Structure 1
């Protein structure tokens, strides 16, 4: 796990890929779960690949294993018969093939990294993606080696009455000394990263689903007994996802049963292991009393995401880990489509885009930037990034926009049919899209592959000229690549959905003889121009509607232009986007005045944003409350930090609060009207309409807290007293704590007393305090770390405190004296010793250092140098080294 200080880590390159010399026809596993340790016996049937040389060497991988015995085709081998260096085990006597039999001993109780097979709170569980299976047994642990599996688990019947693995259960029975066994068979060849095993004392919720061809599939969700009443939403979400995938993509489930297990100690959100998904409890448990609207939506999305992987990831998997975006980006796009169909398409899109622009754009612009398909890596665990997932999803979305819904479906059908049971690469996916739509595959793949190969966020500059006399508008778009791009970037295909907004609303215009309210352009060259006719008045351009491409846009929009879009654009996403852009402009201007000591910062200033929102908000709150709520959620400091050359958290926070106050002040009466409806206190219903009503009330309460703190405190206390669900409770508690309203401390104590036995709710209690935007929160976080309910071995609890403080509380984290940085550095060192994956992800919070002032930079560099001078895992060392530069 650890690396010696100063030793250079090995870099793995895509260009060095070599196909395995041996294929694996079948895997037979036998697990003896024996309390203090586990013994794993494996029989692996190999065959030399047709392309392999005669002198081929059989190479397996193993880590943290006690090797008890090895045999080849029935003959025991000695240590002289193989070589084992680091994680690589090699055997030169495999010839044309045979059966390798091994027996190893591992120690799940000591596995605090939660990778491979581990046991937590009496529950055995696996996490094998990306390279965890090598910690279970010797194996060709790479995604392009696919095998059928037969797995037998033997354990104590009293402590482990439930024994689960991939596929279908084909036999069970009792054995000696109170033990029992179960054998599972997965007929679909899969790579080792999709293997799963769970054993323990679990309750189960059962249901079923009838597929489009008439097969009945048993559905099972396993949890602790106390959590069984929180599984109904996940089950409904699973059934909806199965039906949606059949209807939208033609993908039918292929096993007799589909199982989900909820695990409290889990590094990821969830894992798509074939037929046996292992989930973090936060992504499967949902109940109105304990879960907010955001929690319900997350469960629905993650359940769908992991199910959709059955085809985009499992039936068609990745040839190597450089192709990770092939399964993750494509599947994120699919789960975003699903979520849009379940609730509000507009809200889903603007939330996805806000997240992308805030976090992935910053990743693209910072020291951790990399291509969607990187050319190299040190630790693959460090490349489960927003670029892989979110930007990868945006590429799939652009293809969907470019080809149209029917064309994209033809391409996905071709992809699934052609590469079923294979390990594919990005080129295979693009080739399917081209071939299925009758396009020149070579040219199409070459052009779209650039999106996967070039890091950084493209910039599109906009210039338009309107000729009044002939009613023609000439639009010129120019694309450039950021400094994070390759040395010789090539032009990308960039879909541009475009509308024209006049003084009364949307204009109909003509392009190449086609008259429409909206046009789809594709910017393919460094610079291109288009001529639009019948443009009766000078318009405001509604660019990149629904964010048709993941680019930054440079356009000469005046305040009045953006206000016009807010008032009149027919595209709801672009109305919100215009408000976001105008808010950003006003906040940044005011922050610069604060930074420079400009006296104008302290004088009343006009706000085009406030005027535009005041004009539309009351009507919007009635007609589209979800959009109305988003209009009042101004850009976060995380987003704003990516828009400036020098990040001053204090100035930006002060400016943001000032602009927000200007926006909500004229809305005081409207906020009161919203709150008077008391939608938040109605019984819980999970629907787009109900969620929208609650979201606009929560935003209204947050706004009122800035205008009338006493009235807001009274409403929040009333919500806490009468709350019929957690959405109301959490909104009230957050308002009290984050605005330091009267009764906040009492509310925290009462909330803790009520929910201390519910781990996920207690995570919210921790997170609410750790994210409170006050300088003194650092001291509160130190107290939370010493709290009896803080458990540093539980990733969810660590993220609720350390993650919230470092990533969602810039005011306290960026303490001018560097104390926030010191707190996080100390915690990283301790976490890394137990759980390198978790530590590496948390370390990313330091990636902002180059944008800070010299004093803060010095504080962070001191912490980075201190960490890097010590003993770290390769995961965390790689992340910190890339950040340090």
Structure 2
């Protein structure tokens, strides 16, 4: 056996999109035989390979940490000199055009802390293969444009692993000597290896069925630990609702006889769409009123839908290469967002989605990790599972759907699915299908896939009373991003209306297409200057800058008939006051207080919408509005305004808190909205400083019959110093210490609290016996939440930076993917004062100097320093 090593192991290769070339070899069929054991699993893989085109290049099979025990070609065992290792890859020179390759490897799942490939979790053996985890299971050309039909046989101890699941449909099963058993599964649909899945363990099934639109009955199963079965009802209903919705809205029917979901405790992601066998982080399956908040319930519904929708937008049509990741993720996020809106409130769902986009993706677009929706290069593909790929990618689909309208968008999506079914496609394939199916020219729109950065749109309204006309001047610009200093104008669809001040209405909404750097639009028949409502429904993922007075914003917050625009006006009222206060200006808060009072008492409004509209912008969002972030000044200004709103409207908050109390728990939209508004009222009451605020919060905590009100009360108490705070935290911990998912909330609540000692408290929690680096959920609940707590994380001492850097260094040795996701907050050092910037850079440099750093973390940190 020859061993060919890279000449520069310290410099990981950069993969470029333009370097894509078709596979040298295809693998139309693969058979996998697993002899499962947590300490020693053997995997025998039999690949039918065919040469692609006229060339003499060898077969190269990717591996990661594997050593072949056997290599066979067409039934003949090869000797060492007939194959070689090039780095981690197995290289086999082959004559002819078709062969059968067989390899045997041995794995130790219980030692796989990376949670990629085959690993052990809570007594289960399970897999995670996206993006490049399959090469940790067996030697294979691990790229998404290799589509294969899979036959999988598993053998295991029947007592320890009575349930054996894989992709597709079950074929046969049986018993073996010595207390072992086996099962065979077959997936008739060709799929890339990243969609392979296997689960073995002692599981119980929540069983149900669904009858498709063609009359087939599909067996549904959600597999969990027996004690968790009562918490699976919501997930099962979400699955059935998703299947019906995809048939109704997209005409897409499920194609196998079985659909299974398995919940596991240790998972790097939210869930995975493996064909016919979705593997989920348990937090997105398990829910009941005692342990799950309304946000958790919504999350379960959305993620179950997302992974199911991938059956078509991701599985039946998959990605040609990983640069096309948004082809499946952006489209599927768009689909799950619309599903969730149909299941609840369209207005509130849109507000929630935009808040997430601004908090995560806008920050990404404005920093050193900015990249296009279709990236041009990467070192570690796991680093591109980003808000840009998912959330901004969804906004691109939303803009196309807006420009086309429902019927033409459906025609385009039908053409896309029909044309590329069973293929590995590209973002360009999707856009072409939309052009042809929808009858639209999207040549300029393609720049959204190519250019990074968030466009800024400057809107200026000019009224000519003599001519009774209004000119709307729009100017767009995109700030420079890494590798893209100069940008071309985007195609930006802007839903716009002009409101008559006297009657409080507009004459109709117009969809304006901004396609140039500067563009003007003229409207006639306006004797008086109207008020501009623009980017209604957040029709484009842009930052709009418009000179609208506090009076005009207050008008829109009361009269705009587009829910998102009404919410946006209210938020801008608050932003103007808070940013002005940070800058030393004494902007009157009266308009804010009046708008909040009027909104909160409007009987025509949904309580859930009211709660969203009257909530103050987050400290992080306020920081994004400033050239240089001042965490202390922002925190002080926001706290002061929150206190004033609480004090001036105290009777209103007391009434809302009393009137929104329910007699029993319900998941109806009305009940969820009431809880949301009641919790906001409690927040303002406690912020007001009223003597009985902590007592009221503790009473809600103690008497709540649901986790939504209990955790909200706990979070409100956690922000302040009081005896009730300590008592509630102790009660919560003792009540839920044996439930890992709920205990995560205990860690998260404290890490995200606006408490003066949060930095020290997080340091103490990191030493808590229940904290562990081995579980991604627990790491995210403490350090992920803390890094998102702007005031605490950016403590001027730099202690917060040091703690997160220490966590990244320690975690990188265990789970590089999770460690890498903690790095971006440190990379925003350019946005802060020199003192904080120096401290953040020092921690990034310390991480980068760590010996043996993974390429996951090295790429994130290296880019953050450049």
For the superposition of Structure 1 and Structure 2, which TM-score range results when normalised by the shorter chain? Answer: over 0.9
Q: C-alpha distance in 2, partners of 1:177/1:4?
A: 49
- Which residue of 1 is the match for residue 856 of structure 2? 875
Deviation per CA, 1:793-814: give whole Å up to 9, x if none: 111111111111112x222211
Find out whether 1:395 has 2:396 as its counterpart. Answer: yes
User: Would the aligned equivalents of 2:44 and 2:105 in 1 still touch at CA under 8 Å?
Assistant: yes
Shift of 1:708: 4.2
- Counterpart of 1:357 in 2: which secondary structure? helix
Residue by residue over 1:390-446, the C-alpha shift from the partner in whole angstroms, topping out at 9 and shown as x without a partner, is 10000000001000011111110000000000000011001101111234xxxx343
| Counterpart position of 1:463 | 460
Q: Distance in 1 between matches of 2:609 and 2:381?
A: 39
Answering whether residue 711 of structure 2 is matched by residue 730 of structure 1, we say yes
Structure-2 separation of matches of 1:115 and 1:743:
43
Alignment correspondent of 2:34: 31
State how 1:102-113 maps to structure 2 within 5 Å.
102-113=103-114
The structural deviation recorded for 1:711 is 2.3
Alpha-carbon deviation of 1:5? Answer: 11
Q: Does structure 1 residue 826 correspond to structure 2 residue 803?
A: no
Q: Distance in 2 between matches of 1:257 and 1:740?
A: 53
Q: Which residue of 2 aligns with 1:165?
A: 166
Deviations 1:122-151 (A, max 9, x none): 210100000000000000110000001000
Deviation at 1:860, TM superposition (A): 1.3
1:545 to 530, 536, 539: 536
Once the two structures are superposed, residues 657-689 of structure 1 have per-residue CA deviations (whole angstroms, 9 ceiling, x without a partner) of 12223334332221111111242x532211211
Gaps of 5+ in 2: 1-5
What is the CA-CA distance between 1:67 and the residue it aligns to?
1.0
3-state DSSP of counterpart to 1:842: coil
Q: Does 1:612 align with 2:595?
A: yes
Listed as ranges, the matches of 1:670-685 within 5 Å are 670-679=652-661, 681-685=662-666
1:97-125 per-position Cα deviation (integer Å, ceiling 9, x unaligned)? 11101111111111000000001222101
Structure 2 partner of 1:500: 498
Alpha-carbon contact 1:813-1:821 (below 8 Å) kept: yes
The answer to whether the Cα contact below 8 Å between 1:683 and 1:725 also exists between their aligned partners in 2 is no
Instruction: Verify: 1:696 aligned to 2:697, yes or no.
Output: no
Residue 506 of structure 1, CA deviation: 4.7
How big is the shift at 1:56?
Answer: 3.0
CA drift of 1:505 comes to: 4.7
Residues 683-832 of structure 1: matches in 2 within 5 Å?
A: 683-807=664-788, 809-832=789-812
The partner residue of 2:480 within 478, 483, 486 is 483
Distance change in 2, residues 1:587/1:185 (3 Å): same
Aligned residue-pair number: 859
Deviates more, 1:157-166 or 1:562-571: 562-571
SS in 2 for 1:332: helix
Secondary structure of the residue aligned to 1:484 is coil
User: CA separation in 1, counterparts of 2:681 and 2:722?
Assistant: 16
For 2:808 and 2:645, locate their aligned partners in 1 and report how far apart those are by CA, in whole Å: 40
Q: Distance between the aligned counterparts of 1:427 and 1:205, measured in 2?
A: 40
Residue 648 (structure 1) aligned with residue 630 (structure 2): yes
Larger CA deviation: 745-754 vs 689-698: 745-754
Shift of 1:94: 4.5
Check whether the contact 1:505–1:568 (CA below 8 A) recurs between aligned residues. Answer: no
Question: Which of the pair has the greater relative contact order for Cα pairs under 8 Å at 6+ separation?
Answer: 1
Report the Cα offset of residue 467 of structure 1: 2.1
TM-score of the superposed pair, with normalisation by structure 1 = 0.95
CA contact (8 A) 2:645 2:688 kept: no
Tell me which of 642, 648, 651 is aligned to 1:660.
642
The 3-state SS of whatever aligns with 2:745 is helix
Write the mapping of 1:81-160 to structure 2, written as runs, cut at 5 A: 81-160=82-161
> How much is the aligned-residue C-alpha RMSD, in angstroms?
1.7
Q: Please name the residue that 1:41 is paired with.
A: 44
**Contact 1:506/1:570 (CA < 8 Å) preserved in 2?**
no
SS across alignment from 1:619: coil
User: Which residue of 2 is the match for residue 211 of structure 1?
Assistant: 212
TM-score with structure 2 setting the length = 0.97
User: Counterparts of 2:511 and 2:616 in 1: how far apart (Å)?
Assistant: 29
Deviations along 1:754-812, one digit per CA (max 9) or x if unpaired, are 111111111101111111112311221122122121122111111111111112x2222
Aligned to 2:3: none
